[in-house]
Amino acid sequence: MHVIDGVKQLFQSANYNRSTQTDYHRLQVILFIAPIAALVHILLIPFFYFTGVELLAGLNCISVLLWVYGIRLSKQYRIDLAIQIFCCEVLLHSVVVSYYLGPDPGFQYYLWSMSALAVMDTSSSRIRVFITAILLVLVFALLNVGLFEPLFEFPFSEYLLYMKLVNMLVSGMLSILAIMIMRGFHLNQQAELRKLADIDSLTGLYNRRQGGVLLEQAYLQALRKKQQITVVMADIDRFKQINDRYGHAVGDIVLCQIADALKATIRKSDALIRWGGEEFLILLSDASAGDAETLLEKVYPRLEQLYADDEILDSPVTLSFGIAQWSADEPIEQTIMRADNALYVSKQEGRNRITLADGMGCDNPFVNLVQSGK
Ligand SMILES: Nc1nc2c(ncn2[C@@H]2O[C@H](COP(=O)(O)OP(=O)(O)OP(=O)(O)O)[C@@H](O)[C@H]2O)c(=O)[nH]1
């Protein structure tokens, strides 16, 4: 059933939680980095064990557990706690490994990556997050300049350089990838905000603000290319009765269905704008009033189909139109006003009809098509 399904969809989209989306992106970063970190620690367990640094092998077992636990917390969307655990793990691991082996194996470089991850903790205050990140970088600097004399003589010291290289590259790559994912998140949010600013959330059409921009652009282009523009104002007839009779939610669905019917009718180069509550503006570029009239005649069979498919509405929904063709010597606002006046005439003359601006009123030849009862 069209309308009922639509109402459900509407409530689902109303429950859409924006913060969940933010957490989703942070989760993507963690689910990318944390398994790699856990795997690296798993590989280090036999490495440290067989090189005789059993304590570090034990430490890596704890590290693996902490990363796995953090992944589990993240999947439960306790992402901030997971990030704090990861920070503590990397801090502890870097300090202990440097204490035993000195800075040469390069484990302190993971503190760099961690400082990037630390700023993703959104539950802590900005200053706390900043201090944590700075602290991690500070510890990195101290470890890197050789704060501790190595306690342990590493048996394969000729390989230390390669180990450092690998650690530097892996930690650098992790930082880059974390920032890339955050960058993607930031760009998505920007696109989302732009969409929110330009698009009507109910119908998905351009909103009035963006409509103004499109009208201005079309006007300038028509002047430059010496083209025609035609503006159509469309208004749903007696929409208040639909709301009063079936409820606002059903009214919203009807509004969306009408928007879809209009959208399916216009050309790709045209723009459909939700101008007001139940009022639409169609901007037809490079088209005359006659072209607009021909186009609008195609809306009526679609409205008829809507009614035929619908099991709730017991009378068809109709539209009134006002068409005005822009003439090069008038501002576009004037054209819109003429289309609006023509729409007013359509309403006055009984609705469900098309009126051309400037007194060229015409009866809608399809006026009776949508009035056949069920
Ligand atoms: N469901 C719903 N109703 C809306 C929305 N925006 C405006 N409306 C309703 O649209 C109705 C417009 O009513 P009127 O301006 O009296 O116009 P009408 O009933 O369509 O009558 P005519 O235009 O004269 O044919 C009001 O009841 C508004 O509440 C919306 O987003 N959703």
DSSP 8-state code for residue 267: -
Alpha carbon of 259 to ligand 1 centroid (Å): 14
Please report the atom of ligand 1 found closest to the CA of residue 236. 20
Q: pLDDT at residue 315 above 80?
A: yes
Separation CA 164–CA 106 (nearest Å) = 4
Please report the atom of ligand 1 found closest to the CA of residue 235. 23
pLDDT tens digit sequence for 52-91: 888 999 999 999 999 999 999 999 889 889 988 998 998 9
Query: Higher pLDDT residue, 189 or 358?
Result: 189
Phi, psi of 325 (to 5 degrees): -95, 130
Helix/strand/coil percentages in the chain, nearest 5: 65, 10, 25
CA distances from 70 to 60, 61, 77, 312 (A): 15, 14, 10, 51
Alpha carbon of 358 to ligand 1 centroid (Å): 26
Torsion of CA 336, 339, 343, 345, to 10 degrees: 130
Q: Where are the domains of the chain?
A: 18-197, 208-371
Mean pLDDT of the chain: 85
Any atom of ligand 1 within 6 Å of the Cβ of 121:
no
Any atom of ligand 1 within 6 Å of the Cβ of 195:
no
Q: State both tokens at 31.
A: 């689910």
Q: What is the mean pLDDT of residues 26-42?
A: 88
Please report the atom of ligand 1 found closest to the CA of residue 241. 19
- Please indicate whether residue 278 is annotated as part of the active site: yes
Q: Which residues contact 171 (CB under 8 A, 6 or more apart)?
A: 109, 110, 112, 113
Predicted local distance difference test score (pLDDT) of residue 121: 77
Predicted local distance difference test score (pLDDT) of residue 189: 84
Secondary structure class of 230 (helix, strand, coil):
strand
Any atom of ligand 1 within 6 Å of the Cβ of 349:
no
Say if residues 93 and 55 touch (Cβ distance below 8 Å): no
Phi, psi of 78 (to 5 degrees): -100, 60
Any atom of ligand 1 within 6 Å of the Cβ of 238:
yes
Any atom of ligand 1 within 6 Å of the Cβ of 68:
no
Beta strands in 302-358 (DSSP E): 319-325, 354-356
Domain 208-371 has CATH 3.30.70.270: yes
Is this structure's pTM higher than 0.80? Answer: no
Predicted local distance difference test score (pLDDT) of residue 212: 95
